[in-house]
Amino acid sequence: MSTPIIELKHVSYRYQQELVLRDVSLQVKSGDFLGLVGPNGGGKSTLLKLILGLLPLQTGALQLFGQKQQQFRDWHKIGYVAQRSFIKHAQPVTVTEVLEMTGASASEIMRALELVDLLNQKHKNIAELSGGQEQRVFIARALLNQPQLLILDEPTVGVDQKSQNSFYELLNHLNQAHQLSIILVSHEVDLISSSVKNLACINQSLLYHGHPDALRDEQLISKVYGSKQQLITHHH
């Protein structure tokens, strides 16, 4: 059996007196497309920061690609797209220039833009892009190092419905055609449940990990969110 690319064992985390993660054990296998859902303040972003080494591990164990997180140095294996980055008010830059800032070569940039279907927009000013296209630029930037795992933190906030659907299609393509493992944090519960392979529901504790169809269970939804008020659903 292959080693999980991410393995958390009994991980807890607190900010001063506030406990935000309680005894979380979770595995992510190579080739997985994992959706991570839960209420605001439920610990999702903290979990990502622990995986990315942005927060120190307090209790429990965390392994990345079979290595202890504290000893892990192969960060090029992990690409990260933060919550939507608004850079339209910054200096006018083209799509290509955003990627050039990383020091990547021209061939690497073209490859990444081709992966996210943005080659025909490469000379456009980023201010001229739609929200969905802008996020594709940041995915392209995260793909420059050819990572094995892509982590996205609520990448479709403020993006219209049509662009969201296209965005999920892109992620599915990267996962299936390019064997890219993906962890996606989202509030769009019905979109995420119809796209991902597995689902993890977190509200301090890991309340569920398994097939995304479980999100149709009202008991699970109320257990995760307390009420349905925090859910964002779309009626097609």
CATH number for the domain harbouring residue 154? 3.40.50.300
Phi and psi angles of residue 109, each rounded to the nearest 5 degrees, phi first: -65, -45
Q: What does pTM read for this prediction?
A: 0.89
- With respect to residue 1, please indicate whether it lies within any of the assigned structural domains: no
Distance, CA of 221 to CA of 87 (rounded, Å): 35
Domain count, the chain: 1
Q: Exposure of 222 by Cβ count < 10 A (0-12 exposed, 13-18 middle, 19+ buried)?
A: exposed
- With respect to residue 183, please indicate whether it lies within any of the assigned structural domains: yes
- With respect to residue 47, please indicate whether it lies within any of the assigned structural domains: yes
pLDDT for 204 equals 94
Distance, CA of 20 to CA of 165 (rounded, Å): 31
- With respect to residue 223, please indicate whether it lies within any of the assigned structural domains: yes
Distance, CA of 67 to CA of 60 (rounded, Å): 14
- With respect to residue 187, please indicate whether it lies within any of the assigned structural domains: yes
Q: Is the pLDDT of residue 50 over 70?
A: yes
- With respect to residue 235, please indicate whether it lies within any of the assigned structural domains: no
Mean pLDDT over residues 205-212, rounded? 92
Least confident of 34-38, 90-94, 150-154, 209-213: 90-94
Q: Is the pLDDT of residue 10 over 80?
A: yes
Average pLDDT of every residue of the chain = 87
pLDDT for 230 equals 46
- With respect to residue 236, please indicate whether it lies within any of the assigned structural domains: no
pLDDT tens for 117-172 read 999 999 998 888 888 888 899 999 999 989 999 999 988 777 777 878 888 899 99
- With respect to residue 145, please indicate whether it lies within any of the assigned structural domains: yes
pLDDT for 217 equals 76
Q: Is the pLDDT of residue 3 over 50?
A: yes
Long-range contacts of the stretch 76-79 (C-beta < 8 A, 24+)? 76/145, 76/146, 76/147, 77/145, 77/147, 77/148, 77/149, 78/51, 78/52, 78/147, 78/148, 78/149, 78/150, 78/151, 79/139, 79/142, 79/143, 79/145, 79/147, 79/149, 79/150, 79/151
Domain range for 115 is 6-230
